[in-house]
Structure 1
Amino acid sequence: MRCAVLGDPIAHSLSPVLHRAGYAAHGLDWEYDAALVPAGGLAGFVGPLGDDWRGLSVTAPLKREALLYAAASTGTAERAGAANTLVREASGWVGENTDVPGAAAALRERVAAPPVVATILGGGATAASAALALCDLGVGSLTLLVRSPARAADTLAAIDRHPARPAVRVGSLATEPAVGDVVVSTIPAAAQTSDLVARCAEVPVVFDVLYDPWPTPLVTSAADRVVVGGLDLLVHQAVLQFELFTGRPAPLDEMRDAGARALRERS
């Protein structure tokens, strides 16, 4: 059986490392590769795939495209407005979003008390998934800090589709401080200016969805605080993908260790 991760750029992806470690732990003779697929190219790549293809991990900029392509999709993917997973079933490709439960699992693993108030930096597809994960954990108040309010429209719509519907405020990424129990960054490392980092200094938990480059400026400043990293998110969402693709329990420790080794080698 064959699986792959699709996106652009894709060379940095650790998904092949994680999934192959899972296959090795189970003795599965499966393949998992990375494929460069630009925006608008998902249907052209997926359409010709043969029956030996079982699952696809989907990263930027294809997550919303994948949701539209899927023959059916889960409630989580519909709520997020994005699919990071396509699973081949008899009826066709089914869209799923493992970013949402993966982010929730990553936070639960590192943080004892569930957050009540949170700030998210950024307003794209990953921010929407992070917001829904926070909603699942019981957050009652969310602040989205974005470059322009228009960038938050899809994320606001996703939050509104969640049954909890927490209080949401949109603020300026350029000027406003992060507030609450946790700050989740979905922005590039290059956008984490010293000024922005300083405005996040009072939040006790820092969750940066990036894993390459690592550590980011935001994480470097949080040495005395709780840090949840992009590898945590990547592993937990990959564990769920692995189980959807193979029907077997994912070897979490083996997959995490393989990812950590790969990151150490890169650095």
Structure 2
Amino acid sequence: MKAAVWGSPIAHSLSPALHRAAYSALGLDWTYDRREVDTAALPAAFAELDAGWAGVSLTMPLKQAVIPLLASASDLALAVGSVNTLVPVEKPVSGSMPDSPVAWRGVNTDVHGIIAALAEVGLDRATTAVVLGGGATAASAVAALAKLGVTEPVVVVRSVERAWPLLEVGERLGVRVALRPWGDPLEVARVLAGCDAAVSTAPAGAADAVAGALSRALGGRPPAGALLDVVYAPWPTALAQAWAATGGDAVGGFSMLVHQAERQVQLMTGRSAPLEVMRAAGEAAMAVVDARTDQLVTR
């Protein structure tokens, strides 16, 4: 069987290391590759899927674009408006031709990944929460926080006008999303530091000014809750470093990635995924990337 991760850019993805390690541990002679696919190329790539495929992992910019192509999607994926996993609606039967047509179902495992990552720093319930950023991962964060008990999540965005889809996501999930503009870094830091759960979905470096203001915002106190920064390279981010330096618990995007991939492996294989094997493989792959980066810097 075949599987892969699609997206653009895709060269940095750790998903092949995670899935290949899982397949090996499970005794499966499966392949898992990465493929550069943008929204323009998605329909053609999707049309190539047949009974030889066990599933596909999706990253940006495909998580929303794929939905119209699907035969079905999970209730959670539809509520969030984001699909990161494709699985056959029905598993191919033994002896089916490789080119047999297959209907595909969309699933969201990012929500599971966020919940599991926050659990690693002891957070399994929350009343107040703040999300930085307004994209597809932010929508998954809102869903995860709703499952943890947050009914009025605050989402801090660069453009409130462009973030209105998050209001609809909140309505579908039964929570009331409050949009706030990403303005003065000190004010953003104060909002983050005062909640039970803070989730940054901002790209690497985007929250550095907020990190620089965090100590002033806290005035010598530790943050009220835990932080998940979904960036996994480079790690730790400035925000995660500042959070930990002021006494708070912070977890990174690598934990989220491993947990969402664990759920993907379960969906694609129908078997329990070897989480710690996958984690070790991902850490080894990240170490290689870090070593190459160091070499480039020193040359």
TM-score range normalised by the length of the shorter chain? over 0.9
2:126 & 2:273 partners in 1: Cα distance?
A: 27
2:123 & 2:78 partners in 1: Cα distance?
A: 29
* Alignment partner of 1:232 out of 248, 255, 259: 255
Return the offset for 1:121: 0.3
2:210 & 2:150 partners in 1: Cα distance?
A: 26
What residue number does 1:215 align with?
A: 236
2:5 & 2:179 partners in 1: Cα distance?
A: 32
1:88 & 1:113 partners in 2: Cα distance?
A: 32
2:60 & 2:177 partners in 1: Cα distance?
A: 25
Q: Secondary structure at the match of 1:210?
A: coil
Deviations 1:101-120 (A, max 9, x none): 22112212322451210110
Q: Is the 8 A contact 1:2 1:54 kept in 2?
A: yes
* Alignment partner of 2:173 out of 148, 152, 162: 162
What residue number does 2:198 align with?
A: 183
> Once structures 1 and 2 are overlaid, which stretch shifts more, 124-133 or 83-92?
83-92
1:73 aligns with 2:73: yes
Q: Is the 8 A contact 2:166 2:177 kept in 1?
A: no
Return the offset for 1:154: 1.6
2:123 & 2:136 partners in 1: Cα distance?
A: 27
> Once structures 1 and 2 are overlaid, which stretch shifts more, 169-178 or 209-218?
169-178
* Alignment partner of 1:257 out of 260, 265, 280: 280
Deviations 1:171-201 (A, max 9, x none): 1212232231121000111212324552476
Q: 1:19 to 1:113 in 2, by over 3 A?
A: closer
Return the offset for 1:45: 0.7
Return the offset for 1:141: 2.8
What residue number does 1:27 align with?
A: 27
Q: 1:113 to 1:243 in 2, by over 3 A?
A: closer
The TM-score with structure 1 as length reference comes to 0.94
Return the offset for 1:210: 1.2
Identity %: 43
* Alignment partner of 2:181 out of 162, 172, 185: 172
Q: Is the 8 A contact 1:19 1:238 kept in 2?
A: yes
What residue number does 2:95 align with?
A: none
Structure of larger gyration radius: 2
Deviations 1:56-107 (A, max 9, x none): 0000000001222111111010001111011123460100001112211221
Q: List alignment gaps of at least 5 residues for structure 2.
A: 91-101, 291-299
> Once structures 1 and 2 are overlaid, which stretch shifts more, 136-145 or 121-130?
136-145
Q: List alignment gaps of at least 5 residues for structure 1.
A: none
Deviations 1:220-256 (A, max 9, x none): 2122321121011101111111011011100011111
Q: Look up the equivalent residue of 1:205 and give its one-letter code.
A: A
Q: Secondary structure at the match of 1:79?
A: helix
The TM-score with structure 2 as length reference comes to 0.84
Q: Look up the equivalent residue of 2:241 and give its one-letter code.
A: T
> Once structures 1 and 2 are overlaid, which stretch shifts more, 128-137 or 174-183?
174-183
> Once structures 1 and 2 are overlaid, which stretch shifts more, 19-28 or 39-48?
39-48
Return the offset for 1:203: 4.6
